[in-house]
Amino acid sequence: MGSKNDIAWELVHAIPKAETLVELFCGGCAVTHAAMVSKRWKRFIINDILPTAEIFDRAIHGKMKSYERFVSRREFKETDDLVIKMLWSFGNDLQSYLWNGDKERIKGYAVQMLTAKSLKERRAFWMKFIKELKEQIRYEDLKKLKDESLERLQSLERLQSLQSLERLQSLQSLESLQSLERLERLQSLQSLESLQSLERLQSLQSDYREVKIPQNAIIYCDIPYRNTSGYLNGFDHEEFYKWVKEQKVPVFVSEYNSPLTQVAEWEKRKKKGNPNTMKDNGLGSCTERLYFNGTLEQYKELMNR
């Protein structure tokens, strides 16, 4: 389990074509999103124990435009709207606000300067962002910056127009903001409205064992990885693999390690840090692997059919 944004396109092309793709732990639906765009399957069944499948369904039908905005900590705590709870919670846990500590204010300003309705409002939040940025960068750190970095910071102060704001969106520092990734996801999902596959999407919210699997289907499972959190009421891996053995259709599982047959792997860069304090300790890497409930020979046959 974990974001599949970076590898979703490669992942769906490592899974054989079939009539139906069933994603039983859909989470943010990055894999289903890529699968729909790829047109490798005709029907899609998405499921999760949380209401993420329904949210994805609403998004691709253009019913999420009202959520392309900033949500404060206070609104998050007071609302009963599950969409807001999902999009603005840390790890999509529906409980913890997305940001904490000294990063909350500056990231909030960054979101609002890109989503405010008027240019005047965007500029106002842009100025607040710059002021907050200056306060957070210590003088001794500035002395250590390379000349190129100093020139970039100075150029930021001179931005005065909407064109400057649009250039700002391309800066890597802003692209890494989790809130902007969510906004980009919403816009991308809404672009799927024109696909015929929307009429063949079924969204569910239930235990994975309760989903009825049709014939000529491929099952994909992005299960919680061992020794990690990320599933309501815990997750029984032994029970899951017993269920996999009972399936009559191909099952593909994302894991770090699995008793099934490995068919693909990807090296992923990820942030290291404490999820409770949300302090970033730099970038690390991990190896994402895709496993199959059959042999390598059977996998090759499925991929070539």
DSSP symbols for 211-240: SPPPSSEEEEE-PPPTT---STT---HHHH
What letter would DSSP give residue 286?
E
Percent of the chain topping pLDDT 90: 45
Q: Residue 124's closest CA among 115, 152, 69?
A: 115
Nearest to 194 by CA among 65, 64, 63, 62: 62
The per-residue pLDDT for 54 is: 86
Q: Which residues contact 134 (CB under 8 A, 6 or more apart)?
A: none
Higher pLDDT, 74 or 103: 74
Q: How far is CA 59 from the centre of its chain?
A: 14
Check pLDDT > 70 for residue 165. Answer: no
Average pLDDT score over residue span 115-119? 89
d(CA 86, CA 52): 8
Identify which of 72, 127, 74 has the alpha carbon closest to the alpha carbon of residue 105. Answer: 72
Summary mean pLDDT of the chain: 81
CATH topology of domain 8-49+206-304: Rossmann fold (3.40.50)
pLDDT tens per residue, range 207-235: 999 999 999 999 999 998 776 555 556 78
* Residues 231-251 pLDDT 10s: 556 789 999 999 999 999 999
Distances (CA, A) of 143 to 128, 136, 147, 153, 171: 23, 14, 9, 13, 22
Looking at residue 95, its pLDDT comes to: 86
Angle, CA of 194, 186 and 75, to the nearest 5°:
140
**Bigger pLDDT: 15 vs 164:** 15
- Asked if residue 192 lies in contact with residue 39, where contact means CB atoms within 8 angstroms, the answer is no
Domain assignments of the chain as residue spans, ordered by start: 8-49+206-304, 65-188
Tens-place pLDDT, residues 14-32: 999 999 999 999 988 999 9
Higher pLDDT, 272 or 130: 130
* For residue 162, pLDDT beyond 60: no
How would you write 171-194 as a 3-class SS string? CHHHHCCHHHHHHHHHHHHHHHHH
pTM of this structure: 0.67
